[in-house]
């Protein structure tokens, strides 16, 4: 039980899979490219829903229409993000797992998923849910702003992982 994150990171770095990722020079940039492309799809889809909630676009269509249009794309792309992100972690465990920017990013990711689910859940029962009362419209706008800030912070934290050297050696 005394296995620390530090020990785990170093154990992981010695596994054959990790060593392959470390030694084949094109793997990390390729996976990072896939990771960034996936983030591009997710953040733009999220922003489309958020901008609809804020009333900036698509006043002719209810928020529910945007949720149904973009949410499947978001969940599928999130799976690609988790897989590509995992490959990057396995390739550089200490650089990522023990990195405050990475840890912050994971907290923000959990928050982002909670925010998205909060937005999605009531729409399944009642497509007009977010337009029904002025109070809900207001709540929707707050959720939209929080959602945008959380996703922006995910991207910033992701890039900052590269600038915080925490290999611990």
Partner 1 sequence: MESLFQWLYDTPVATAIRESGTLFPWIESTHVLAITLVVGSISIVDLRLLGLTSKNRAVSTLTGEVLPFTWIAFVVAAITGLLLFSSNAVKYSHNIFFLSKMALLVVALANMLIFHFITGRGIEHWDESPRVPAGVRLAGGVSLAVWIAVIACGRWIGFTMSAF
Could you say which of 58, 62, 122, 127 contacts partner 1 (CB under 8 A)? 58
Site membership for partner 1, residue 45 (CB under 8 A)? yes
Binding footprint of partner 1, residue count (CB under 8 A): 29
Stretch that binds partner 1, among 23-31, 102-110, 127-135, 136-144 (CB under 8 A): 23-31
Candidate segments 14-22, 83-91, 109-117, 156-164, binder of partner 1 by CB under 8 A = 156-164
Q: At closest approach, how far in Å is the CB of 8 from partner 1?
A: 27
- The per-residue DSSP string of the chain comes to ----HHHHHHHHHTSHHHHHHHHSTTHHHHHHHHHHHHHHHHHHHHHHHHHHHTTSS-TTS-HHHHHHHHHHHHHHHHHHHHHHHHHHHHHSHHHHHT-HHHHHHHHHHHHHHHHHHHHHHHHHH-TTGGGSSHHHHHHHHHHHHHHHHHHHHHHHHHHHGGG------
Residue 156 near partner 1 by CB under 8 A: yes
Which residues make up the interface to partner 1 (CB under 8 A)? 28-30, 32-33, 36-37, 39-45, 47-48, 51, 57-58, 69, 73, 152, 155-156, 158-160, 162-163
């Amino acid at each position: 039980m005394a296995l620390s994150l530090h020990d785990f990171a170093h154990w992981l770095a010695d596994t054959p899979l990790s060593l392959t990722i470390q030694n084949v020079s094109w793997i990390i940039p390729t996976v990072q490219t896939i990771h960034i492309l996936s983030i591009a799809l997710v953040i733009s889809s999220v922003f489309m829903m958020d901008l609809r909630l804020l009333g900036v676009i698509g006043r002719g269509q209810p928020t529910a229409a945007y949720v149904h249009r973009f949410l499947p794309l978001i969940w599928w792309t999130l799976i690609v993000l988790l897989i590509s992100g995992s490959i990057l972690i396995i390739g550089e465990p200490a650089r990522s797992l023990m990195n405050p920017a990475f840890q912050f990013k994971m907290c923000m990711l959990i928050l982002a998923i909670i925010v998205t689910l909060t937005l999605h859940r009531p729409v399944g029962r009642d497509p007009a849910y977010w337009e029904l009362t002025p109070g809900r419209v207001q709540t929707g706008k707050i959720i939209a702003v929080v959602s945008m800030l959380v996703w922006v912070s995910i991207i910033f934290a992701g890039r900052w992982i590269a600038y915080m050297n925490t290999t611990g050696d």
